[in-house]
Structures are given as structure tokens and as C-alpha cells.
Amino acid sequence: MDSHSLTEESRAARVGGAAARPIRVMIVEDDAIVAAHLRRVMEQMGFEVAGLVATGKEAVQVAGAEKPDVILMDINLRGDVNGLQAAEKIHEQHGIPVIYLTAYADEAVVEQAKRTQPYGYLTKPVRDKELRASLEMALFKSRTDRRLRQVNSILRSIRDVSQLITRERDGRRLMQEACRVLVSTRGYLLVWIGRPDPDSGRLVVAGAAGLTDGLPDAASGGGSGVPDSEGLPESVLRTGQPAWCRDTADPMASGHWREAAWSRGFRSAAAIPMRRGERLYGVLNVYADQVEAFDREEIALLQELADDLALGLESIEEENVRFETEAALRQARNDLERRVDERTAELRRANAELRAEIAARQLAEAALSESQAQLRAILDNIPDLAWLKDRRSVYLAGNEALARALGRPLAGILGKSDSELLPRDVAERQRADDLAVIETGQPRRIIEQSIAADGRATWVETIKSPVRDVRGEVIGIAGIGRDITELKRAEERILESLERERQLHEMKTRFISTASHEFRTPMTVAAGFAEMLRNQYDRLSEEKRRALLDRILDSVWRVTRLLDDVLTVNRVDQGKLTFRPARLNLSSLVRDVIDEICVTDKGGHAFNFDDGGGGTEAVADENLIRPILTNLLTNAVRYSATGSAIVVRLRVSPREAVLEVADHGIGIAAGDQARIFEPFERGVNVGKTRGSGMGLNIVKRLVDLHRGSIQLSSEVGVGSTFTVRLPLGLPPAAPVPL
């Protein structure tokens, strides 16, 4: 059986070791010569040509039958359906990425193509490298978009199920609705929940949604046990861990469930335990129509959802117990009132004789004592806090849970009010709630934060109900309090997870957009000038050749600097860039960096360096300080007018080094200064000046790694001053990673 669990890594490696299939490309081109050339190039690159068609109508049909990974689509096709129309239909029906081919790159065609959401745009004749790069970028973006949609859909499912848990009080409806949410929101073909039968130990269906018809009884809602001992749910029952099947068609998968799954269109499946502590509440089973639909991230999210369902079922069970206990408490209260009335009537009838009155009184007191004992037994068996108060909010009865919560014996609580037991603000709030119940005669539900006797911050759900006498008048309040801290924490974790995923999606989108533009522009420039050199070398003057080579080198250095920035950020994020202080001369280091910048600046700016004339020996990390200074000086050169002065000041004391870089450039607007150190952020006034928006973010990260600080002082049209403060000290015996 091709199944996996979080503890069965060997089987996961065995299935995952299969050779990956080649990427399948479909070519839509009505020029037979161009189509043949593209096919030959694709096959030489190692791609598999999934189809070669000449019309838009054929393209739509073949795309639906072959399901290629990517499509090369000529825009101008013969027939009723052009390339743009065919691409739009294919995108709507199958979501296959399309790269356009055209011999005309005018703006009108490009704008029309943008509306169909293409993954690339190439002009003929197509260069091999550009073709490969476009295919790889399209496949990468397609996979990324598909994965983001999958993660977003299952997170929406978790959100919807979490909201369902908070409002649904029936366990079976909760499981049925959870299955429906997963089918409608996530798009699974079938979802069903099985709960262990306490007698047989087999799974019994408690909820199902999707393609339930024609399946075994266990997945159709019939309620019978699961007969197949080789299935994924039984693996979960046996191991207590998630299990999943990547491909129901894999020869290594066995069991008669595999044939049934394949015939229903199920290409992968997963079974997730619904557990709470040591107790297994059930198994969540999901089936998808795609091979390898379940990876470890999705399994982890499904496990979180299954655990939330288990928490919801546990909460419903506890709430049912509480309701039963409350009913018993009300019955005991009614019995007590009835007995008191009966004994009072007996005392009135026996008032004629003193002996009879004394006997009746003793009998009534004995009955009252018995009733109080019964009430005490009931209260002490309630796991939640329980109490009775009179109209003055004085405690008449309570249980041991209440005594533990208030941190004092029950005898020290009875006969006292909240003002004698609780802080003033808490007591006033409790009294206000009691008065609301007494005045309205209606129950009241309160959820609030509280501090336990041991100092822990907790969330408590309290239900206060009016206590009435035989005439219907409110004579007191009965209360039940329950600790719901774990439920609130689970809700907070879900909200935090949704926010992290949103931020991650936003950062990935910005990074892909920025990196794609910043890499493509210089490489396109370099390729264009290189092709000009190759085709017109003999006709160009030496001066023109050098100018073209300088432009090519400038583009290559621009890409190299961007790669260095990305790698630096990655090393910091992964903890691979460490703080390694050593003794060095800061003044010499600053002069070296200024000299390097002067070489690339070619005399465009005047650099003034002032080290104060004092000692500049210090213990610091050169590998962190050099890129800090390089990025600050590069920005000063880039955003300052040619011929303007750039001032660098260095002051070193025994405890810290202060490095200041000032320019007379365009400055940074006040509204941009708060976010200028964030990745990919640039000032609104940079105009056409090139830049990736990563330089100052790298500076901030490296300053933090050096345990220092950075301040910015800037005014638009006047200039900017960056002040970096770095603590200095003796070098440790070994490098200390941060």
C-alpha cells in the first residue's frame, strides 16, 4: 500500500524516489517551419512535446485531452479562434500556463495579451535561452500560484470550520458540516469522518460529503464499520499518526480499496487522526482528484483542523455534561423548595401542641440537612465552578472548584460577598452582572479574562441564572463558571497562522515581481548589446565597441549586485552569517571602501573623510562593516548629483564606533522614512533612478547582527545623513553565531 505517515520515512522515500517525468509542452503555431523548429528545440532541451497544432480550436481540444504542463501559443492563428481567444478558454477551463509567441510586439497586442493573464511573451525569432528561461519561469510561477491557491483554500476551510466549532453544539452536525466545508472550500472529491465504535473497535461513519454514492458503506454514510484492514483509516487507528497515499495507481499500493478509489476518480487520499491528548475522537478522511495532492504542509494543516474538530467534540461533550448537571441542580433546588414547603405546612398543623411542634421542627431540620448534603454532593461533582448567591450577592453554597479558584477554603467563602473576596474592580463587575440577572430575570452569559489563584491568566465563561421562589420572585443567583483558556488559545493560534500566511504570500508576491523585473531588465540590455556586437562588430568603431562593452559590464554588475543582496538576506535569515569580531583599523577599512567606490564612480563625486585624528583601532567584524559602508556610499552616489560632495565621518571610543555618511542628494520624504529599511521599499521621489530597494534593508540587518543601531536624518532636496553606532569589545575565544 503506497501510504505514508509522519513516522514512516522509509516508505515515503521509497515512493518519492521514482524518476520525475519530463515537462510536457504543447506548441500552437500555424507556420509549419517555425513549428518544426520549436519542436526540435524543445526536444533538444529535454522537454516532451505533448502536441503540435495549427489552429486555436484544435489547441483548446488538445489541451483538454493532453493536459500539458505549459503551452507555446502563437497570437495570430488562422481560423475563427485566434491565439488570445484560445489561451483565454484554456486558462478558464484547465488553468494551464500559456506563453505567447508573435512576430509583432506593438503595444496594442501586448495590452490585449495582458488581459488573458499570460505567463510569458516572446517575439519571433525566439532565442533558445530566452525560450528556456520563459518556460522555467512560467512553470515556477504556475506551481507557486497553484500552491498558494491550495494553501489559501485549506486555510479558509480551517477558518470556516473554526467558526463552525464556536457556534455548533451538536457533534454529528459539526462533523457533517465540517465535511461539507472541506468539499466546497478546498475542492476535495470526498470527505468523511469515521468514529471508533467502542464495541467492535471499527470505524463508523459520522459525517460525509462529496462523491458518497457507490462507495463502500464506510464512506457512504450508511453507518456500518470499515471492512478493509488494509485501508488508510486503519493505519491511523493502529499507529495514531496521519497516513496518506500519493498515487492510487502506483503499483506499490495494494488492497481492494485502491481499485474502488481509482474507479471513482480518486488519485490520492489521506487519513488524519482527530485526537485530544491521549484520546482519538475519530479519523478525518479526504480524497483528491490529483496525484500527489497531499504534501507535508497540507497534512500538517489538516492535522491542525482535525485537532480543532477533536477540541470541538470534547467541548460539546463537556457542555452536555454541564447541562445535565445544571438540570440536576435545578431539580435538587425544586425538591428542596418543595420539602421546605411541606415541612412548613406540617409545623403549622402541629402548632397546637408544643411536643408535636418540636418533633415536626426536628424532622424538618433533618430533612433540610439531608437536602443540603445532597446538594453538596451534586455541587462537588461538577468539574466547573458552581455557586448560589442571595440577592445581596452573598454566597450561600459553592463547590470545591470554586474554593480552589478563589484560593481559600469553602468555609471562608460562604456568608461573604464578592467585595470581601475579590479585588474592588472585579467585585464591582460581578455585582453589576448579578443585578442585571436579578432585575431582568433572564440568564446572562459572560466571557472574560481572569487571574487564577496561582497567578495564571485565564479565560472564563460564566452563566448566571435567576433563582425563584414558589411565587416566581427572584431570590438569588445560581452560577456556573468554566475555564475556556485552551479554546481561546486555539482561536488565537488560528488567527496568527492566517496572518503569517497572508504576510508570507504578500512578501513572496513582492519578491517575485521585483526580482523578475530587476533580473530581466539588465539581462535584456546585455543580451541586446551583445547581439549588436556580434552582428555589427566590423562596422563599429573602437569607441562604440568599448561603449557597448561598458554597457554590458554595467548590466552584468547590476545583476551580480542584486544576487549578492539576495544571498546576503538569505544567509542572515538562515543564521549562516555570524558575528566574528577581530582587531582591525577602522580608519583604513573606511578608506579602502571609499577607494573602491571612487573606482566605480569615476570621479563623479567628491569624497571627504574625517576620522577625527584619534585612535581608530577597534575590535569589530569587518565582514559586517564593509557591506554596511558599501551600501550607504553606493546609495549616496546613486541619489546625489554629479560633482556634489559626500562626507564620511568616523569616531571611535573604547565602547563604540560612530560612522556617519552624509550626502547632498534628493533626500527621503518624511512619509517614506518609517518604512525605508523594509525590503523592496524605495522613496517616492527616486524617479527613474535604478535600484532594488534591498540595500538599506541589508544595512539594517547587518547593523542588528553587529548589535548596533542606525538612525536617519533626511530632507527632500537637501540630502540624507545615516548614523551607524556599533558596540566594540574584546574578541571572544570562538565565533559567536547570532
| pLDDT tens-place string over residues 575-604 | 656 677 888 888 888 888 888 888 777 778
Least confident of 51-60, 132-141, 162-171, 686-695: 686-695
Grid coordinates representing 131 are 525560450
**pLDDT confidence bin for 377, thresholds 50/70/90:** low
Say yes or no: 501 and 595 in one domain: no
CA distance 397 to 386: 8
What's the pLDDT score for residue 736?
Answer: 36
What's the pLDDT score for residue 662?
Answer: 92
CA distance 349 to 360: 10
Backbone angles phi, psi at 320, to 5 degrees: -60, -40
End-to-end CA separation in angstroms for the chain: 45
The number of folded domains in the chain is 5
Say yes or no: 57 and 72 in one domain: yes
Least confident of 48-52, 620-624, 733-737: 733-737
Least confident of 275-279, 453-457, 626-630: 453-457
Q: For residue 121, list its beta bridge partners.
A: 100
Q: Let me know if residue 325 belongs to a domain.
A: no
Least confident of 337-346, 367-376, 457-466, 482-491: 367-376
- Segment 684-690 shows an average pLDDT of 69
**pTM across the whole model:** 0.37
Q: Let me know if residue 691 belongs to a domain.
A: yes
- For 521-534, the pLDDT digits (tens) are 666 767 777 777 77
Beta strands in 211-267 (DSSP E): 243-245
Say yes or no: 452 and 395 in one domain: yes
Host H or E run for residue 726: strand 719-727
What's the pLDDT score for residue 725?
Answer: 92
CATH code, domain carrying 665: 3.30.565.10
CATH code, domain carrying 394: 3.30.450.20
**pLDDT confidence bin for 649, thresholds 50/70/90:** very high
3-state secondary structure of 564: helix
Q: Let me know if residue 374 belongs to a domain.
A: no
Q: How many helices (H) and strands (E) does the chain have?
A: 21, 23
- For 608-621, the pLDDT digits (tens) are 988 887 667 888 88
Q: How far is CA 462 from the centre of its chain?
A: 33
- Segment 310-329 shows an average pLDDT of 83
Alpha-carbon distances of 162 from 307, 499, 539, rounded to whole Å? 11, 15, 72
Task: Write down the mean pLDDT value for the chain.
Answer: 76
458, 451 Cβ separation under 8 angstroms:
yes
Is the pLDDT assigned to residue 35 strictly greater than 90?
Answer: no
Give the residue, 379 or 313, on which the prediction is more confident: 313
What's the pLDDT score for residue 257?
Answer: 58
Say yes or no: 29 and 125 in one domain: yes
What's the pLDDT score for residue 227?
Answer: 35
Task: Show which of 571, 591, 626 is a domain's final residue.
Answer: 571
Q: What are the DSSP calls for 513-564, one per residue?
A: HHHHHHHHHHHHHHHHHHHHHHHHGGGS-HHHHHHHHHHHHHHHHHHHHHHH
Question: What percent of the chain lies above the pLDDT cut of 90?
Answer: 3
Q: Let me know if residue 211 belongs to a domain.
A: yes
**pLDDT confidence bin for 722, thresholds 50/70/90:** very high
CATH code, domain carrying 182: 3.30.450.40
CATH code, domain carrying 500: 1.10.287.130
Q: Let me know if residue 210 belongs to a domain.
A: yes
Q: Let me know if residue 736 belongs to a domain.
A: no
**pLDDT confidence bin for 180, thresholds 50/70/90:** confident
What's the pLDDT score for residue 342?
Answer: 82
What's the pLDDT score for residue 723?
Answer: 92
Is the pLDDT assigned to residue 205 strictly greater than 90?
Answer: no
**pLDDT confidence bin for 738, thresholds 50/70/90:** very low
Say yes or no: 553 and 523 in one domain: yes
Grid coordinates representing 530 are 551583445
Say yes or no: 560 and 591 in one domain: no
Say yes or no: 120 and 203 in one domain: no
**pLDDT confidence bin for 131, thresholds 50/70/90:** confident
- For 468-477, the pLDDT digits (tens) are 888 888 888 8
Q: Which of the residue ranges 181-185, 346-350, 506-510, 515-519 has the most confident prediction, judged by mean pLDDT?
A: 181-185
Say yes or no: 438 and 543 in one domain: no
Say yes or no: 142 and 165 in one domain: no
CA distance 393 to 391: 5
CA distance 691 to 132: 27
What's the pLDDT score for residue 252?
Answer: 47
Q: Let me know if residue 156 belongs to a domain.
A: no
**pLDDT confidence bin for 13, thresholds 50/70/90:** very low
Is the pLDDT assigned to residue 512 strictly greater than 60?
Answer: no
Task: Show which of 460, 483, 506 is a domain's final residue.
Answer: 483
182, 257 Cβ separation under 8 angstroms:
no
Beta strands in 484-626 (DSSP E): 582-585, 606-610, 617-620
- For 214-261, the pLDDT digits (tens) are 544 434 333 333 334 357 888 888 888 898 887 776 654 445 556 666
Grid coordinates representing 88 are 483565454
Backbone angles phi, psi at 108, to 5 degrees: -60, -45
Report the 10 Å Cβ neighbour count for 316.
18
What's the pLDDT score for residue 8?
Answer: 40
Say yes or no: 616 and 648 in one domain: yes
Say yes or no: 279 and 177 in one domain: yes
**Domain containing residue 86:** 3-147
Is the pLDDT assigned to residue 370 strictly greater than 80?
Answer: no
Spatial strand order in the sheet of 474-483? 395-398, 385-390, 474-483, 457-468, 444-451
Task: Show which of 523, 542, 571 is a domain's final residue.
Answer: 571
Q: Let me know if residue 404 belongs to a domain.
A: yes
What's the pLDDT score for residue 151?
Answer: 66
**pLDDT confidence bin for 507, thresholds 50/70/90:** low
Q: Which residue has the cell 524518476?
A: 19
648, 594 Cβ separation under 8 angstroms:
yes
CA distance 109 to 123: 11
Say yes or no: 198 and 139 in one domain: no
Task: For strands 70-74 and 98-102, give the pairing.
Answer: parallel
Is the pLDDT assigned to residue 273 strictly greater than 90?
Answer: yes
CATH code, domain carrying 92: 3.40.50.2300
669, 683 Cβ separation under 8 angstroms:
yes
